[in-house]
Amino acid sequence: MSSYVYKTTRRGVLLAKTVSYQVRLCSGNFRHLEVLKDENNVAIVTMKRAPVNSLNTELLTEISSVLTDLEETKCSGMILTSFSDKVFCSGLDIYEIFKSKPSAIGTSFSTLLEVFIKLYGSTFPTVAAITGHAPAGGCVLGLFCEYRIMVQNFKIGLNEDQLGFNAPSPIVKLMINTIGHRNAELALTSGRLFTTSQALQVGLVDEIAKDRTEAFEKADGFLRRFEMIPPLARNFTKQSMRRALLQDVTINREKYTEGFVSMISLHEVQQSIAAYLDNLKNKKRNAH
């Protein structure tokens, strides 16, 4: 049973309103998400954790809870997006993994894995409307979806190596599945962030949009492709293609969590994160 309220309306109207943000369409129990549904049971899930949608445990838990609800209510498709026209998602909340207790880091990472299991393995089609930058965990969130449409002139990629830690092996596999072994190796070892057009070239995103409105139109177009495809057959094919990674993460969730916590807790890694945070602050200071 759903514990929150969805606004039901025609998808066109819904998308137009969502794009213009003139009307607040949804009330619910979420602090960091807005969830709308249209008459065809398509959900638009908008992350709204200002300023940059960094993924703390609270936001991840909310995403996880929405995904459960969308399964239970037999949602027919989902568009994942951001309130911001500058940042889709800035990755894991660096402050939550910096100098935190191992148990807090573990909870955050384990919740990310839970989101992966539900989003990557969802029975309904999923598309990310990436309206801004998507570094690290932001890119990962996009990769959990089936299709990515990205607004031009932003950056996306897995820059974990720049922060001093490596992407866990399931993420490496996901990158390889998406852009191929050679491109993935070059990108991951250098912590490369791709511009939107470079991302399209390597296949990290599937389409480019000139703005949010076009991103939504294209996302809608992707979901409409499946209107005539029997959902059962579609889902069976999706699950069979994703089973290996899903099983790996489901079975080894604890092991991956422990590995991530040990890595992040290393003194050298904490030092790298501190230096990275300093850099981020300096960049901001110099920009002003």
Ligand X SMILES: CCCCCCCCCCCC/C=C/CC(=O)SCCNC(=O)CCNC(=O)[C@H](O)C(C)(C)COP(=O)(O)OP(=O)(O)OC[C@H]1O[C@@H](n2cnc3c(N)ncnc32)[C@H](O)[C@@H]1OP(=O)(O)O
Which parts of 45-84 interact with ligand X (CB under 6 A)?
Answer: 51-52, 54
Out of 15, 79, 205, 249, the residue judged to bind ligand X by CB under 6 A: 249
User: Between residues 125 and 138, which has the closer beta carbon with respect to ligand X?
Assistant: 138
Judge whether 92 counts as a catalytic residue.
Answer: yes
User: 67 CB contacts (<8 Å, ≥6 apart)?
Assistant: 115, 118, 119, 122
Give yes or no for residue 87 binding ligand X (CB under 6 A).
yes
The binder of ligand X chosen from 24, 267, 284, 285 (CB under 6 A) = 284
Alpha-helical (H) ranges within 192-230 are: 196-202, 212-224
**φ and ψ at residue 47, rounded to 5 degrees:** -80, 135
Q: Count residues near ligand X (CB under 6 A).
A: 32
Q: Determine contact, residues 191/185, Cβ cutoff 8 Å.
A: no
What Rg value do the Cα atoms of the chain yield, rounded?
Answer: 18
Q: Kindly state the smallest distance separating residue 206's Cβ from ligand X, in Å.
A: 18
Which residue has the closest beta carbon to ligand X?
Answer: 91
- Is the CB of 267 or the CB of 284 nearer to ligand X? 284
CA–CA separation, 181 and 165 (whole Å): 20
Residue 106 binding ligand X, by CB under 6 A: no
Task: Give which of 1, 272, 235, 254 is closest to 120, Cα–Cα.
Answer: 235
Determine contact, residues 57/92, Cβ cutoff 8 Å. no
Is 99 a binding residue for ligand X by CB under 6 A? The answer is: no
Which one, of 176, 98, 97, lies nearest residue 158 by Cα?
A: 176
* Annotation marks residue 159 as catalytic: yes
Q: Is 91 in the site for ligand X (CB under 6 A)?
A: yes
Closer residue to ligand X in complex, CB, 106/135: 135
Q: Does 137 bind ligand X (CB under 6 A)?
A: yes
Give the residue from 1, 110, 120 showing the smallest Cα distance to 61: 110
- From the candidates 60, 70, 92, 204, which is the catalytic residue? 92
Rounded CA separation 155/196 (Å): 6
Which residues, 6 or more positions from 202, have their beta carbon under 8 angstroms from its beta carbon? 179, 180, 183, 187, 194
- Is residue 135 close enough to count as binding ligand X by CB under 6 A? yes
Q: Which of 34, 114, 146, 160 is catalytic?
A: 160
| 201 vs 282, beta carbon nearer ligand X | 282
Write down the least CB distance from residue 59 to ligand X, Å. 11
CA atoms of 223 and 229, how far apart (whole Å) = 11
What is the CA angle 114-119-125, rounded to 5?
A: 165
Q: Is 160 one of the catalytic residues?
A: yes
113 in contact with ligand X (CB under 6 A): yes
Contact 238, 157 (CB under 8 A): no
Nearer to ligand X, 90 or 126 (CB): 90
Distance of CA 186 to the CA centre of its chain: 22
Among this protein's residues, is 258 annotated catalytic?
Answer: no
Residue tagged active-site, from 53, 56, 159, 183: 159
Tell me: does residue 251 bind ligand X (CB under 6 A).
Answer: no
Residues 142-181 that bind ligand X (CB under 6 A): 159-160, 163, 167-168, 170-171, 173-174
User: 257 — phi, psi (to 5°)?
Assistant: -65, -45
Give the residue numbers annotated as catalytic, written as ranges.
Answer: 92, 137, 159-160
Residues that bind ligand X (CB under 6 A): 51-52, 54, 86-87, 90-95, 112-113, 116, 133, 135-137, 140, 159-160, 163, 167-168, 170-171, 173-174, 245, 249, 280, 284
